């Protein structure tokens, strides 16, 4: 994409009401725009990052047998009365003109269970797993931390249905692995800990995936030996020991919850009487698990982990573009047409080979402004074409996360990527 | 995908409260599920069709310079007060816990204009066009016609911004062509008419894209000569003549509005004072156009146009799968393992080549049931492997929209596609 065409622009001054690094850089870089606290628009660069994250999640969840669906955001309040959640404080309420009361989906158990009830008729229909990418609405009293805690945000929610607890346990382990793959592909593998959390009423423990960063709102206690952690809620109960290996030398860290997995067991299936007859003809309530990842929170976490004073440093698989091609024409316009022609050709060549390039062809910007924008936006490879590089028949390539600058012959750039 | 794994199932009896053909076939085929009137979940088959439609639209809108964004569904009511739309009857209202009043997005002019105002600072920033795929919420008094008129539905909305009316007019013509391409690729080219409609307060005429079908709620008057139409609202004003060529021999037809394009001119930009300085330094209000397509309505329209008494007949580019591979084992189970092996191999081979196949490997279903399901679901090519075909080293291929059955050697099936 030509940057001269891109409607979003970088912004010099960060908005004063946005304290978090993620919001500062994402707004300044033109990734998102704040409509009001906790509610953001995603601009072309931000939309591309979200799509990259979405595709990674889709691949990994498809690989564990998830079937993609899309459920509504408007939910009948009647369904929430059945689960006793009709008054939880994060609900948004609205009404049909006919007077029927509705809530906005803050999660989808109240919709997915009656839906699956229409198709799960026998133990032979189990196990099944369905998921979606869908907006969640949560009426947070205070929305802060940029896109980490939204009042409206995109979430992947997966629900699994089983004939037995053993089967749920087996799927739960698969989901753990899929989650590890997802966070690794998003560049967070090293920093993300499987964390024991309270299971509430459903099971002894649930698990959170917590990513270490100073911007985290959560406190977790990590075990270096087995790379698991315990969250603050249950550290007392765990007697300050690692629940993996018993290690007592846990380290207190700040972290962001980037995902969670729950054994719901029969809490929601009982509420709707989702049951099947087993082989012996006995009625059995279906056992459930649920597995969530907030996509915008994940995007914000990546920014919190990967940045420097100049801007964002996107991991390659989630970057909005792979390369940022920068055309530099001197103030004297010397060699202008030759330089521009070389940059245009390289842009076309890379695009043709399917390499995603943001091409900074803007005429009115100085070299300093273009470099500052490139650092702020944080695309992994910066490719500069200027009078100086063209003299050598080359482009200058620099990785966003390294200081080293390489001169690469124009004919070899494609090979480089 | 293996049909034995697919959680959705075909349903024999259509729901009694769904009168429309689209809802009957889409629910019976397992494409959608109704949560309540006007609000549907999209199941795996339906989700695939929506994604196909979405990708067609994305390609065509990108081709006319649209930049994809994603705006929120929660809108501050303050923005609607500025445009005087805070009391329109299709709004859903809700509140933040802090007491702030919100509405659910029924369209996005009230969000996109203040957004673009942050980036359109000079006439040099024009023209620009942004679009999104986002849910719309419309509080319809009565929701009927299946997925044709939803209370919650997915829409592509494109907004364009111009320095002059001439520039808007030029873009408007490009949008017309893009819309024609979209409807043609969805199989509706022959049946869809550019239709003159009331421009409201903004311009003399706007345009609807109307698809002819007996299920249509709209009445239009078509001109066979120049393939345009006039809608009922303005037929009097048009003196019962074609607005293209003056032809007085117009035919009255029922149709569904599958898209519309509007010259908004300055209605919304004035409300937010979206203006730029022109070359001479004079303040000019930005000129706007808007362009909508409801994806679920488009999907429903395709079903209304392409069906027979047995089910849906999907046009190839929007079909959930290209081929429906059907494994038939006789009651005597004769040659079972050989037949199944041949079908499994063919499935793997097609999948490997990127041909999308739904593989009916269900053991408990009879040939009759499998054929009935295939006709109901409506995938373009049915490929049968049975004892009879295997004897001839072949598969039997039948197009959903033809009666002819062809025997194709197993080794030639890939070539066939």
C-beta separation of B314 from B45 below 8 A:
no
Element (H, E) at A167: helix A165-185
Cα angle for residues A20, A21, A23 (degrees, 5° grid): 70
State mean pLDDT over A182-188: 98
CATH number, residue A349 = 3.40.50.800
Confidence class for position A16, pLDDT limits 50, 70, 90: confident
User: Distance between the two ends of chain A, CA-based, in angstroms?
Assistant: 17
Which residues, including other chains, have CB under 8 Å from residue A338's CB and lie 6 or more apart?
A390
Q: How far is B407 from chain A (nearest CA, A)?
A: 33
A370 and A282 co-located in one domain: no
A81 and A210 co-located in one domain: yes
Q: Is A4 on the interface with B (CB under 8 A)?
A: no
Q: What does the CA dihedral B224, B229, B235, B240 come to, rounded to 10 degrees?
A: -20
Each residue's pLDDT tens digit, B300-335? 999 999 999 999 999 999 999 999 999 999 888 888
B2 part of a folded domain: no
Question: For residue A105, what are its two tokens?
Answer: 């989906």
Q: Is the pLDDT of residue B8 over 70?
A: yes
pLDDT at A200: 58
3-state secondary structure of A293: strand
A244 part of a folded domain: no
Q: What phi-psi label fits residue B233: left (phi over 0), alpha (psi between -120 and 50 degrees) or beta?
A: alpha
A303 and A370 co-located in one domain: no
pLDDT at A235: 92
pLDDT at A18: 85
Q: Give the burial class of B157: count Cβ atoms within 10 A of its Cβ; 0-12 exposed, 13-18 middle, 19 or more buried.
A: buried
A380 and A340 co-located in one domain: yes
Domain boundary among B308, B336, B356: B308
Q: Do the Cβ atoms of A69 and B94 come within 8 Å?
A: no
B109 and B54 co-located in one domain: yes
Please give the interface size between A and B, counted as residue pairs whose CB atoms are below 8 Å apart: 133
A13 part of a folded domain: no
A33 contact residues in B (CB cutoff 8 A)? 115, 118
Each residue's pLDDT tens digit, A63-105? 999 999 999 999 999 999 999 999 999 999 999 999 999 999 9
B272 and B382 co-located in one domain: no
Q: Give the burial class of B415: count Cβ atoms within 10 A of its Cβ; 0-12 exposed, 13-18 middle, 19 or more buried.
A: exposed
Mutate to test the interface with A, among B35, B95, B98 (most CBs of A within 10 A): B35
A96 and A189 co-located in one domain: yes
Tell me which of A333 and B30 has the higher pLDDT: B30
Q: Is B99 on the interface with A (CB under 8 A)?
A: no
Question: For residue B245, what are its two tokens?
Answer: 């060529």
Which residues, including other chains, have CB under 8 Å from residue B309's CB and lie 6 or more apart?
none
C-beta separation of A317 from A187 below 8 A:
yes
Q: How many domains does chain B have?
A: 2
Q: Do the Cβ atoms of A41 and B115 come within 8 Å?
A: yes
CATH number, residue B79 = 3.30.930.10
Q: Do the Cβ atoms of A89 and B111 come within 8 Å?
A: no
Q: Is the pLDDT of residue A203 over 70?
A: no
> How many Å apart are CA A20 and CA A18, to the nearest integer?
6
B260 part of a folded domain: yes
Confidence class for position A144, pLDDT limits 50, 70, 90: confident
C-beta separation of A31 from A152 below 8 A:
no
Q: Is the pLDDT of residue A205 over 90?
A: no
Which residues, including other chains, have CB under 8 Å from residue B232's CB and lie 6 or more apart?
B218, B219, B220, B221
> How many Å apart are CA B395 and CA B311, to the nearest integer?
23
Q: Is the pLDDT of residue A202 over 60?
A: no
A194 and A280 co-located in one domain: yes
Q: Do the Cβ atoms of B69 and A44 come within 8 Å?
A: yes
Q: Is A201 on the interface with B (CB under 8 A)?
A: no
C-beta separation of A149 from A143 below 8 A:
yes
C-beta separation of B346 from B413 below 8 A:
yes
> How many Å apart are CA A70 and CA B42, to the nearest integer?
5
pLDDT at B152: 97
A201 and A332 co-located in one domain: no
Each residue's pLDDT tens digit, B345-403? 999 999 999 999 999 999 999 999 999 999 999 999 999 999 999 999 999 999 999 99
> How many Å apart are CA A246 and CA A36, to the nearest integer?
46
Q: Is B6 on the interface with A (CB under 8 A)?
A: yes
> How many Å apart are CA A12 and CA B313, to the nearest integer?
55
Query: How many residues does this entry show for chain B?
Result: 417
B226 part of a folded domain: yes
Nearest chain A residue to B100, by CA: A36
3-state secondary structure of A130: strand
A211 and A341 co-located in one domain: no
Among A317, A69, A55, A291, CA closest to A176: A291
Of A50, A95, A115, the CB nearest to B41: A115
Residues 34-93, chain B: which have Cβ within 8 Å of A? 35-36, 39-44, 46-47, 50, 65, 67-76, 89, 92-93
Among B26, B304, B35, B25, CA closest to B150: B35
Tell me which of A44 and A244 has the higher pLDDT: A44
C-beta separation of B260 from B294 below 8 A:
no
pLDDT at B15: 79
SS3 string, A64-106, reads CCCEECECCCEEEHHHHHHHCCCCCCCCCEEECCCCCEEEECC
Each residue's pLDDT tens digit, B195-248? 999 875 556 788 999 999 999 999 999 999 989 999 998 898 889 999 888 899
C-beta separation of A386 from A332 below 8 A:
no
Q: Is A99 on the interface with B (CB under 8 A)?
A: no
Radius of gyration of chain B (CA): 25
Domain boundary among B274, B308, B342: B308
Question: For residue B266, what are its two tokens?
Answer: 């300055």
Residue owning tokens 């966070």: A183
Confidence class for position A11, pLDDT limits 50, 70, 90: very high
Each residue's pLDDT tens digit, B257-300? 999 999 999 999 999 999 999 889 899 999 999 999 999 999 99
User: How many Cβ atoms sit within 10 Å of the Cβ of residue B220?
Assistant: 27
Confidence class for position B125, pLDDT limits 50, 70, 90: very high
Q: What does the CA dihedral B239, B241, B243, B249 come to, rounded to 10 degrees?
A: 170
C-beta separation of A339 from A386 below 8 A:
yes
Q: How far is A218 from chain B (nearest CA, A)?
A: 24
Each residue's pLDDT tens digit, B132-158? 999 999 999 988 788 898 999 999 999
A277 and A335 co-located in one domain: no
Each residue's pLDDT tens digit, A260-297? 999 999 999 999 999 999 889 899 999 999 999 999 99
SS3 string, B166-207, reads HHHHHHHHHHHHHHHHHHHHCCCHHHEEEEEEECCCCCCEEE
CA atoms within 13 A on the CB side of A371: 11
A6 part of a folded domain: no
Confidence class for position B17, pLDDT limits 50, 70, 90: confident
Element (H, E) at B94: strand B93-95
Cα angle for residues A81, A85, A87 (degrees, 5° grid): 95
The percent of residues above 90 in pLDDT, for chain B, comes to 87
Question: For residue A196, what are its two tokens?
Answer: 């024991």
Cα four-point dihedral sign B360, B365, B370, B376: negative
Q: Do the Cβ atoms of A69 and B96 come within 8 Å?
A: no
A242 part of a folded domain: no
> How many Å apart are CA A287 and CA A275, to the nearest integer?
9
State mean pLDDT over A189-193: 96
State mean pLDDT over B107-119: 97
Phi, psi of B362 (to 5 degrees): -70, 130
pLDDT at A201: 53
C-beta separation of A328 from A386 below 8 A:
yes
Which of A173-187, B82-96, B112-126, B195-209 is least confident?
A: B195-209
Domain boundary among B256, B279, B308: B308
Q: Is B288 on the interface with A (CB under 8 A)?
A: no
pLDDT at B12: 87
A14 part of a folded domain: no
Q: Is A130 on the interface with B (CB under 8 A)?
A: yes
Q: Is A330 on the interface with B (CB under 8 A)?
A: no
Domain that holds residue B400: 321-416
A273 and A325 co-located in one domain: no
């Amino acid at each position: 994409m030509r940057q001269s065409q891109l409607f979003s622009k970088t912004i010099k001054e960060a908005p004063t009401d946005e304290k978090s690094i993620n919001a500062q850089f994402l707004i300044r870089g033109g990734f998102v725009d704040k409509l009001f606290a906790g509610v953001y628009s995603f601009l072309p660069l931000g939309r591309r990052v979200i799509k990259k994250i979405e595709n990674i999640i889709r691949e990994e969840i498809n690989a564990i047998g998830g079937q993609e669906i899309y459920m509504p955001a408007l939910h009948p309040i009647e369904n929430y009365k059945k689960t006793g959640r009709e008054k939880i404080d994060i609900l948004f309420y609205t009404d049909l003109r006919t007077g029927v009361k509705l809530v906005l989906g803050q999660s989808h158990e109240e919709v997915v269970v009656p839906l699956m009830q229409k198709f799960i008729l026998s133990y032979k229909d189990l196990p099944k797993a369905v998921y979606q990418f869908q907006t969640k609405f949560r009426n947070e009293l205070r929305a802060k931390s940029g896109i980490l805690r939204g009042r409206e945000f995109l979430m992947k929610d997966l629900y699994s249905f089983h004939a037995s607890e053993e089967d749920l346990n087996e799927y739960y382990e698969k989901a753990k692995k899929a989650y590890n793959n997802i966070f690794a592909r998003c560049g967070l593998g090293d920093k993300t800990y499987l964390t024991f959390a309270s299971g509430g009423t459903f099971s002894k423990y649930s698990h959170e995936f917590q990513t270490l960063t100073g911007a985290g709102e959560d406190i977790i206690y990590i075990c270096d030996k087995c790379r698991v952690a315990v969250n603050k809620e249950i550290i007392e109960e765990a007697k300050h020991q690692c629940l993996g290996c018993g290690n007592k030398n846990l380290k207190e860290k700040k972290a962001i919850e980037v995902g969670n997995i729950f054994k719901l067991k029969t809490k929601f299936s009982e509420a709707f009487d989702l049951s099947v007859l087993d082989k012996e003809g006995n009625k059995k309530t279906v056992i459930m698990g649920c597995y969530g990842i907030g996509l915008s929170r994940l995007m914000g976490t990546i920014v919190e982990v990967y940045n420097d004073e100049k801007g964002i440093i996107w991991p390659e698989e989630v970057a909005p573009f792979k390369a940022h091609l920068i055309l530099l024409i001197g103030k004297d316009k010397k060699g202008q047409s030759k330089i521009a022609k070389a940059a245009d050709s390289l842009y076309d060549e890379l695009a043709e080979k399917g390499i995603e390039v943001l091409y900074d062809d803007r005429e009115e910007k100085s070299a300093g402004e273009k470099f500052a924008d490139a650092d702020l936006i944080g695309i992994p490879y910066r490719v500069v074409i200027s009078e100086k590089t063209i003299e050598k028949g080359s482009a200058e390539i620099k990785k966003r996360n390294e200081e080293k600058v390489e001169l690469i012959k124009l004919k070899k750039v494609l090979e480089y990527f």
